[in-house]
């Protein structure tokens, strides 16, 4: 019997469906060895030797794998093809007490390593024909990254606990990401908008065709964006042109081509899924993992639908290119296929060109064929991958562009000459745009001739203000990290998840906004540990890790070169950095003692200096004379405490505002603050439906009479009743409204949802 071990049960099920009798396919359920959580786990004095353990949750699985291995003639390690997958295979060998590589172990059993870029029958069979030894260079690169991150996290984080507050953390890549966000936030805060004006002209041709043009130049000099500073300047120009003579000065037509994009890599997939569907990088990678490992298809069983999703290569295999070209010719026509097969080169520094881009395992498996098989999010992501990969082998789009320059001459006595410009664009041949939709706005301009007179219909001055650079969102942060060469395909999603989970960053209108504690930690690291948050230093470390993977460097010297000065700085800063304490003029509302600024999960607050003897605290809010944070007195309400009848105040907690007794901590009575939506509860008839939040923070809609009434909905009700069964109607996807009852299939189109809570 041949035993095949992979990481996940889904992957095992898919591969098991391809292999016949004589094979057993099982999974390790991810990593089975790791550094201990309770201590550093690295012997710094002995060349940074890591001490791996089998975590408690993996011990039972290791015992089961040992039993299976004892019965097998051959062990085949089929973990993912990247550094992480190679490390998992190596850890399996160590945990199962086997020898490394394609060799015989003590009992004469063969241990083999196979890799593949897609989970298809042909790819698995080809891999089985070409087993290899474990690539210790890739293992070393993964170990080096793990050890580096452990040294930074476990050595620097305790310093933050002692100097700022407990529970903080620092990380080699996460701290650089936070720095990017903090610096952008401060650029936004320091930005001063400038007023500027544009002037548009609605013009009519002799054939009575209207078009719009905008002021672009005066007296032969191109006007920049900020040329017209005020309303007065704009009004003067409009007055000057009231009786002007208008005519076509120049006409330029050009045919331009637009080339298709290369297939997706990890970063571009995460960015586009965020921009198009508002998927987080973590969610995108979860969906991609599901598509890669296999989805149950009617009549086929489990099938892998896309190639490996952690890649920075835009290369496509020759067989995939040939299949794509055949699908294009059959489905869209010969003219839509590129004249010759296209190959792309990655612009990502250190990209592994030997790997493949993310593509469907079969181009003939169109998204429409899978619409009823995949979940809606899976379908969206598969369609995005399929379309971009197929489009990369399609003909370029052909566009016609038109530029009309218009002279405006105020009068014969004036020496001034104003030039207005209109730009138009139409698609002559869509090419790859037939499959891969982009925001290509078509603007059709009328047919005109040079020196043709025009009639002015209206002049419109419009006020604008310059805007600061936007905050980074998840997509643009990934792009910036990639530009700097920081991180690799496997690290983008966990990095963003970490800084959100740590409370250094929060989501604000789909953007990433650093919190007060995030700014504080960043400032401390920038001042005292500049290398840790230096863009070039971090990018250089990524290059060193790549060099280890290529066998050009040994991993221990790389770690030592980093750690020696890092350890010296740590010792120096331990004595040099004072505990971060901000004093205030506020007195404790409980005992009258002075209060100081502390940092909690939700930012700054005032705490009594006698803590823990006194637990008095006050909220802080923005609103000081110079924009600083000031103490916020608790707002007393008319609500009475359910425990003692004392008036209650509004407080802020993990899931928003709530009511608390003014006698806290002697009395710990609380009440939720219900944000009702004007809909009566259909279950009890007396309560109202209110927006509430569960322990995960996810909003839902429940009755205000809870716990007496446990009515709950997870989509916003419209307030109307179903004409079929009289249950509440709820807002659904794509503008639809449907019945909330699981036994009723009533659906209607076209009600606009107004819901800021879900």
| Residues classed as catalytic | 308
Among candidate residues 707, 708, 721, the one with its CA nearest the CA of residue 679: 721
Residue 281 to residue 360: CA distance in whole angstroms: 20
Residue 117 to residue 125: CA distance in whole angstroms: 12
CA atoms 642, 643, 649, 651: torsion sign: negative
- The H or E element containing residue 196 is strand 195-204
- The H or E element containing residue 91 is helix 83-95
Among candidate residues 57, 52, 58, the one with its CA nearest the CA of residue 28: 58
- The H or E element containing residue 28 is none
**Which residues face 676 on adjacent strands?**
690
Strand order across the beta sheet in which 647-653 lies: 635-640, 647-653, 656-661, 670-672
Among candidate residues 635, 583, 570, the one with its CA nearest the CA of residue 609: 583
DSSP symbol at 79:
-
Among candidate residues 174, 166, 3, the one with its CA nearest the CA of residue 78: 3
Torsion-angle region of residue 593: left (phi > 0), alpha (psi -120 to 50) or beta?
beta
420: exposed, middle or buried (Cβ count in 10 Å: 0-12, 13-18, 19+): buried
Q: How many C-alpha atoms does 590 have within 13 Å on its Cβ side?
A: 19
Alpha helices in 107-195 (DSSP H): 121-129, 136-163, 174-190
Residues 434 and 182: beta-carbon distance below 8 Å: no
Instruction: Let me know how long the chain is.
Output: 758
DSSP symbol at 312:
-
DSSP 477-496: HHHHHHHHT-S-TTTHHHHH
Among candidate residues 498, 478, 474, 497, the one with its CA nearest the CA of residue 488: 478
Residues 21 and 92: beta-carbon distance below 8 Å: no
Residue 596 to residue 617: CA distance in whole angstroms: 9
Which residue matches tokens 């996940």? 8
Q: What is the CA radius of gyration of the chain?
A: 32
The backbone torsions φ and ψ at residue 56, rounded to the nearest 5 degrees and listed phi first, read -55, -40
DSSP symbol at 264:
B
Q: How far is CA 293 from CA 289, 333, 361, 412, in A?
A: 6, 33, 11, 76
| Cα-Cα end-to-end distance for the chain | 52
Which residue matches tokens 């984080």? 157
Residue 585 to residue 594: CA distance in whole angstroms: 7
- What is the largest distance, in Å, between two alpha-carbon atoms of the chain? 104
Other beta carbons within 10 Å of 387: 19
Other beta carbons within 10 Å of 174: 26
Torsion-angle region of residue 503: left (phi > 0), alpha (psi -120 to 50) or beta?
left
């Amino acid at each position: 019997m041949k035993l095949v071990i992979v990481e996940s049960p889904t992957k095992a099920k898919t591969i098991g469906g391809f292999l016949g009798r004589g094979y057993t396919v099982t999974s390790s359920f991810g990593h089975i060895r790791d550094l201990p959580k309770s201590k550093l786990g690295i012997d710094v004095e002995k060349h940074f030797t890591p001490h791996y353990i089998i975590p408690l949750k993996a011990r039972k699985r290791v015992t089961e794998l040992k039993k299976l291995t004892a019965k097998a003639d051959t062990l085949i390690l089929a973990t993912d093809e990247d550094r992480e997958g190679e490390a998992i295979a190596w850890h399996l060998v160590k945990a199962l007490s086997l020898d490394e590589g394609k060799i015989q172990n003590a009992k004469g059993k063969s241990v083999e390593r196979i890799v593949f870029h897609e989970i298809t029958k042909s790819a698995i069979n080809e891999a089985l024909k070409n087993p290899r030894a474990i690539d210790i260079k890739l293992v070393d690169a993964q170990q080096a990254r793990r050890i580096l991150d452990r040294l930074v996290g476990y050595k620097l984080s305790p310093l933050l606990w002692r100097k700022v507050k407990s529970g903080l953390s620092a990380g080699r890549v996460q701290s650089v990401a936070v720095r990017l966000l903090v610096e952008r936030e401060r650029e936004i805060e320091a930005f001063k908008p400038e007023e500027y004006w544009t002037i548009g002209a609605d013009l009519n041709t002799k054939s009575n065709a209207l078009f719009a043009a905008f002021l672009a130049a005066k007296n032969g000099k191109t006007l920049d964006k900020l040329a017209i500073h005020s309303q007065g300047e704009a009004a003067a120009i409009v007055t000057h042109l009231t009786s002007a003579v208008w005519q076509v000065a120049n006409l330029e037509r050009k045919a331009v081509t637009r080339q298709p994009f290369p297939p997706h890599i990890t970063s571009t997939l995460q960015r586009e899924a965020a921009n198009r569907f508002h998927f987080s990088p973590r969610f995108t990678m979860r969906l991609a993992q599901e598509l890669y490992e296999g989805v149950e298809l009617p009549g086929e069983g489990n099938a892998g639908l896309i190639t490996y999703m952690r890649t920075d290569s835009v290369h496509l295999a020759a067989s995939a290119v040939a299949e794509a070209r055949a699908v294009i010719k059959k489905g869209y026509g010969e003219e839509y296929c590129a004249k010759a097969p296209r190959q792309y080169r990655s612009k990502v520094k250190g990209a592994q060109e030997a790997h493949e881009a993310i593509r469907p395992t079969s181009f003939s498996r169109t998204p429409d064929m899978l619409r009823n098989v995949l979940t809606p999010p899976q379908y969206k992501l598969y369609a995005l991958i399929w379309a971009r990969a197929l489009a990369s082998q399609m003909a370029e789009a052909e566009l016609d562009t038109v530029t009309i320059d218009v002279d405006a001459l105020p009068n014969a006595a004036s020496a001034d000459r104003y030039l207005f410009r209109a730009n138009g664009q139409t698609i002559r041949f869509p090419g790859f745009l037939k499959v891969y939709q982009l925001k290509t706005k078509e603007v059709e301009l009328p047919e005109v001739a040079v020196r043709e007179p025009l009639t002015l219909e209206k002049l419109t001055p419009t006020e604008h203000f310059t805007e600061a650079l936007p905050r980074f969102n998840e997509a643009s942060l990934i792009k910036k990290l990639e530009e700097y060469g920081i991180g690799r395909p496997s690290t983008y999603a966990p990095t963003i998840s970490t800084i959100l989970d740590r409370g250094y960053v929060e989501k604000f209108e789909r953007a990433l906004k650093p919190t007060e504690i995030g700014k504080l930690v960043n400032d401390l690291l920038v001042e005292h540990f500049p290398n840790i948050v230096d863009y070039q230093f971090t990018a250089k470390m990524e290059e060193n890790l790549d060099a280890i993977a290529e066998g050009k460097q040994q991993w221990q010297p790389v770690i030592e070169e980093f750690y020696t000065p890092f350890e010296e700085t740590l010792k120096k800063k331990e004595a040099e950095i004072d505990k971060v304490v901000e004093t205030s003029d506020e007195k404790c509302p409980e005992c009258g003692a002075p209060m100081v600024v502390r940092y909690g999960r939700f930012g700054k607050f005032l705490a009594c200096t006698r803590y823990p003897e006194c637990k008095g605290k006050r909220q802080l809010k923005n609103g000081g004379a110079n924009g600083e944070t000031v103490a916020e007195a608790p707002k007393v309400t008319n609500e009475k405490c359910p425990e003692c009848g004392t008036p209650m105040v509004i407080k802020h907690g993990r899931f928003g505002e709530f009511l608390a007794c003014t006698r806290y901590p002697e009395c710990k009575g609380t009440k939720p603050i219900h944000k009702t939506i004007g809909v009566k509860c259909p279950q009890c008839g007396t309560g109202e439906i209110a927006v509430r939040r569960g322990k995960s923070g996810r909003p839902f809609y429940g009755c205000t009479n809870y716990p007496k009434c446990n009515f709950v909905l997870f989509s916003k009700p419209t307030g109307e009743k179903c004409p079929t069964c009289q249950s509440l109607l709820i807002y659904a996807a794509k503008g639809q409204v449907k019945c909330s009852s699981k036994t009723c299939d009533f659906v209607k189109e076209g009600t606009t949802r107004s819901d800021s809570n879900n």
